[in-house]
């Protein structure tokens, strides 16, 4: 389901500080589609706090939280997504994007 590609723990710190930004991309049949505009930590916080309060959102990893908030997880029970989502980060002022983590199609697991 979620595979962390870049395990550098400073990525989250740099996003919080405002040094890095992130974006979510969808990949299906070799087509690349942006899911949202480039996001700052403040954008992420607004999205989180404007969402209906769901306690699980506050105890899962930031990777799972972003995957949920940006629509990368399954939408219906037992219906696997067809897209792979990649969350990329970059330093503000630079052009190079780096893969932070991926969300691949997965089967729902209730155990």
pLDDT at 4: 97
Q: What is the DSSP letter of 79?
A: B
pLDDT at 94: 97
pLDDT over 80 (residue 30):
no
- Region 5-25: mean pLDDT is 96
pLDDT at 35: 82
**Calpha distance 74→87 (Å, rounded):** 16
Q: Whole-structure pTM over 0.85, yes or no? A: yes
**Calpha distance 3→32 (Å, rounded):** 19
């Amino acid at each position: 389901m979620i595979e962390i590609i870049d395990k550098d723990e400073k990525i989250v710190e740099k996003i919080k500080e405002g040094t890095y930004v992130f974006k979510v991309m969808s990949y299906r049949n070799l087509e690349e589609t942006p899911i949202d505009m480039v996001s700052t930590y403040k954008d992420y916080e607004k999205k989180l706090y404007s969402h209906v309060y769901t306690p699980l959102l506050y105890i899962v990893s930031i990777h799972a939280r972003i995957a949920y908030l940006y629509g990368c997880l399954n939408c219906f029970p037992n219906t696997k997504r067809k897209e792979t989502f990649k969350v990329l980060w970059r330093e503000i002022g630079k052009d190079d994007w780096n893969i932070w983590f991926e969300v691949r199609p997965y089967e729902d697991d209730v155990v």
